[in-house]
Amino acid sequence: MQTYGVTSLLFSIVSMFFIYIEYQKTAQVVFGISLLAFCWSIFLSLIEIRLSTKAIEIELSDMEGLEDPSVMDYLKKKFERD
């Protein structure tokens, strides 16, 4: 995920260089590649967040009688009691 984010930033810088030397078509193509890399980076980040959330739910599932490993249900129950 981070690799694609850095790649996106580097392609953006290269695109700016091509704009500076007035190679507009090349700059457009490189910037398009940069956008694709950025989109892929965000997609992978979303997958990593979902996996991390599921891992936390599994870790917390044995705390305080939480049978269903859903963090949101646990928090709702916790705050409804107070």
Rounded Cα–Cα distance for residues 20 and 18 (Å): 5
pTM over 0.85: no
Query: 6-63, pLDDT tens digit by residue?
Result: 999 999 999 999 999 999 999 999 999 999 999 999 999 999 998 888 888 777 776 6
Q: Write down the domain spans for the chain.
A: 2-81
* Long-range pairs, 26-35, Cβ under 8 A, ≥24: 34/7, 34/8, 34/9, 35/8
